[in-house]
A = this chain, B = another copy of it.
Amino acid sequence: MHPTRAVARALKRPPPKSPRSNARLSNTASAGASVSSTIIHNHQSLPERPERPNFPCVDAHAARESKIRASFSSSSSQPRSSRFDGPEPPYARPSPQSYHVYHHKSPLPLTYADPLPAFDIAYETWGTLSPTKDNAILLHTGLSASSHAASTPSNPSEGWWEKFIGPGLPLDTDKFFIICTNVLGGCYGSTGPSSIDPNTNQPYATTFPVLSIFDMVKAQFSLLDDLGIEKLYASVGCSMGAMQSLAAGWQFPKRVGKVVSISGTARSSPSAIAMRFAQRSVLMADPNWNNGFYYDGLPPHTGMKLARQIATITYRSGPEWDLRFGRKVRDLPPPLASAPSDPQHQHPHHHQQHYHQGTVRKPALCPDFLIETYLDYQGEQFCLKYDANSLIYISKAMDLFDMTLPALHSINLKPPHPSPPPHEPHSHHLHPHPQHSNASRLPHQTSHSKSHPPPVNPPPHLPSLAEGLAPLANTPTLILGVQSDILFPVEQQREVADALRMAGNERVSYYELGGVWGHDTFLLDVQNVGGAIRGFL
């Protein structure tokens, strides 16, 4: 919303009728169109001239903007672009030194653009690097995550994969040295659009070059060079991180011992591109986005909120929402009574309304069903925590990812030779039939399928994907997918596994999980996702 207009509208609003309506301004999680009464009796007399309704869900954008504007004027006198750029996530607040930063001083060649003159990579580590430096695992993140995958002594707040990393956990810090980076293009310490361009001393904004997943991986391997790690024990990633994990094994077959790809893909589909396009569109239509040059002004927080709402739809699944929310609606506030409930609680437990016979609950045009308040809340929580341009650039990099041979050729990537074939086959990774995975390591065999049928209608690009993936022919690879994932559907998981096998890889482990968590399963299902990883590593 245009700031002046939004503020003007906020000021022009008639004086609140009750303490509630004022308090509601920032109560977006339970925002509804509050008209004169919320319980009405049916079939009453003809209406009088109605008042103009107000829309707390719309006012929330103006209120947020006012709040940001106020925090601007009260903060340092320096222009914002010369301060730390990119919004800080809550877990980064305890200490700006809670992650390491690797400075790379020479140019990084890029897939689609001129080289990046220099760059930073923020990273954190867990466990101890062995004297021979042979126990390192590089963990790749999803789109918006930071390097803070798990708590550390310098930052004890919970990380995004807290239950997967630690002594005795799937990424076992008693055995492995885990490295997680903020991705190139991100806003949590690594160089991205919000970083200062050394040529201009201004944030790059949209002069930042379009990145590829391969560029991101190259930047990570510069860090590994710096750490003296010649060969990774494994490369592990989920979602976009799974793309990076495959790309890492592909670009550096001799430097990656094993590849784990969870809920990713080797070729972004038009459906996934469509969902990310919708997010970029709402973001770029926010006037605050200002063609990406917002670092001295107000960020496009409304566009970010809308984008996150759309993203959240793709992260979970219908069946989960059926179980969790169904058609429940938010509690109606007791008329003119106590203050609104705290909108900060993560999962408001509202219940199906029951009314006396004869009264009908009046629905709101603002969020009213719990599924709506949930999406509203997810958007609200995210919209000031992540840099809008990072979202645009990184989601574009995901769209561009395609490991079919013609696509690799079109960006001048020449497939390297695979790593040498194993001298003695790891029998526990060899499958008697290439379509069968070694499922015996999973704690709960009922929650995944042990095999997937040979492709009946293989996608037309499968052979060219197999050609493209040839450099991974000798790398043990775990492909794990989730049947309820609508963003990286299970067909794409099967496709990667099939293509790897067609490329001659005899050490492909394939898992397919059930459950209702959709794409987010990798964040939630420690038992099955973690079990598969533990078994594979």
Contacts and interface: CB of A to CB of B under 8 A. Distances in A.
A327 interface: yes
A336 interface: no
Interface string A329-371: 0000000000000000000000011110110111101110111
A433 to B, nearest CB: 28
A110 B376 CA distance: 28
B49 A114 contact: no
A360 B111 contact: yes
B285 A1 contact: yes
A268 B327 contact: yes
Contacts of A321: 269-271, 274
B52 A287 contact: no
Contacts of A409: 357
Contacts of A44: 114-115
Contacts of A105: none
Contacts of A375: 274, 277-278, 281
Q: How many residues of A sit at the interface, in one of the four size bands?
A: 35 or more
A322 interface: yes
Given A114-B44, A282-B282, A321-B274, A360 B411 contact: yes
A302 interface: yes
Contacts of A361: 112, 410
A402 to B, nearest CB: 6
B362 A112 contact: yes
A325 interface: yes
A524 interface: no
A269 B313 CA distance: 13
A176 to B, nearest CB: 35
B2 A287 contact: yes
B50 A207 contact: yes
A271 B318 contact: yes
A206 B33 contact: yes
Contacts of A317: 271
Contact of A412 (B309, B358, B369): B358
A399 interface: yes
A280 B327 CA distance: 18
A72 interface: no
A15 interface: no
A269 B412 contact: no
B269 A318 contact: yes
Contact of A327 (B49, B270, B355, B486): B270
Given A113-B362, A199-B49, A58 B285 contact: yes
Contact of A371 (B9, B210, B274, B407): B274
B281 A306 contact: yes
A527 to B, nearest CB: 22
A396 interface: yes
A134 interface: no
Contacts of A224: none
Nearest to A58: B284
Nearest to A328: B270
A493 to B, nearest CB: 14
A273 B371 contact: yes
A381 interface: no
Interface in A34-56: 40, 42-55
A523 interface: no
B117 A46 contact: yes
A162 interface: no
Contacts of A423: none
Interface of A: 1-2, 5-6, 9, 33, 40, 42-55, 57-58, 61, 107, 109-115, 117, 199-200, 206-207, 210, 267-271, 273-275, 277-278, 280-282, 284-285, 287, 289-293, 302, 306, 309-310, 313, 317-318, 321-322, 325-327, 352-355, 357-358, 360-363, 365-367, 369-372, 375-376, 392-393, 396, 399-400, 402, 406-407, 409-412, 459, 461, 486, 489
23 contacts: A1-B2, A42-B109, A44-B115, A46-B114, A47-B199, A48-B199, A52-B206, A57-B281, A57-B284, A270-B321, A270-B326, A270-B327, A271-B321, A273-B327, A273-B369, A273-B371, A277-B372, A278-B306, A281-B375, A282-B285, A306-B306, A353-B410, A486-B486
